Amino acid sequence: MKIALVGYGKMGKIIDEIATKRGHEIVARLKETPTAENLNNPDVVIEFSLPEVAYENIKACLENKIPVICGTTGWLDKKPEIEQMAIQNGTAFLYGSNFSLGVNLFFALNEKLADLMKNVDEYSCQLEEIHHVHKKDAPSGTAISIAEGIFKNNQKFDSWKLEETQGNQLGIFAIRENEVPGTHSVFYRSEVDEIEIKHTAFNRNGFALGAVVAAEWIKDKKGNFTMKDVLGL
C-alpha cells in the first residue's frame, strides 16, 4: 500500500518504521496541512497530529476521497461532521482513541464488567489514566472511550468529569508524569473491597502497529468504522 502520514511526531515516526517493515511505501510525511499535491496519491492516510489541527487535516483528506485512519484525540466535538463527510465523499474514516490490540480487548472487558456491576449498588466507580507530560489533552481519548463503554452498560452514569465521581458523573483522574506511554485503570470500590481492571502500555509500538493494521484493513472500504470492526470484537 501507499501510505501518507499526516502528523510526523514520535508516533508518526514509529508508524513509518513499522509500515515500512510490513512492505508498505510511505509517500508523504507531513507536518503541514495535507493537500492533493503534497499527499502524493496515497491509498490511505494515517493521521496522528494535534487536537487543534486534526479536523482540518482529516477534512482535506476526505475531500480528496482518501480514506483516513485517525488517532488524534481531543477534537471529537466535530467527529459527526467528519463521519458525514466520509459518506458524502464515498470514502472511509476510522477513528481510534487507542489502536492497541490489548486496549481494545480491555474496552470489551470494561463493558462486560460494567454490565455485571450495573445492579450492585454497594460499589462506586472511578477511572484513572496516567500519561507522559507532553500529552496535550486530559482526560485521554482512551479514558473517554472507557467511560462511554460504562455509560452504555450501566445507567447509573451518563457523563464524565475530571477528578472524583459525583452522582451520575463518572470521575476520571488524569495524571501526567515523566514518559509514561499510557496506563488506564477502572476501580469499583465498596466499604469492604475493591475490584480493579488495568491496562499498562510499555511503549508506543502497540499503538503504531494497530494503526497500520487498521490501514491495511480499511483499503477499498466505504463508511465509518472502529477498531471493533478491524478486530471483529
Binding-site residue ranges for NADP(+): 31
CA distance 84 to 223: 9
Half-sphere exposure of 122 (CA within 13 A, CB side): 7
Q: Which residue among 24, 65, 78, 135 is the active-site one?
A: 135
What is the CA 111 to chain-centroid distance, rounded? 16
Per the annotation, binding residues for NAD(+) are 71-73, 96-99
Cα torsion 92, 98, 100, 104 to 10°: value is: -90
Closest CA to 168 of 180, 160, 178: 160
Strand-pair partners of 124: 189
Q: Identify whether 199 is a catalytic site residue.
A: no
Residue 135 falls in the annotated catalytic set: yes
The catalytically annotated residue of 24, 131, 156, 184 is 131
Q: For 104-123, give one letter per residue: b (16+ CB within 10 A) or e.
A: bebbeebbebbeebeeeeee
CA dist., res. 220 & res. 215, Å (int): 10
> Whose CA is closest to 98, among 83, 110, 86, 87?
110
Q: Which residues are catalytic?
A: 131, 135
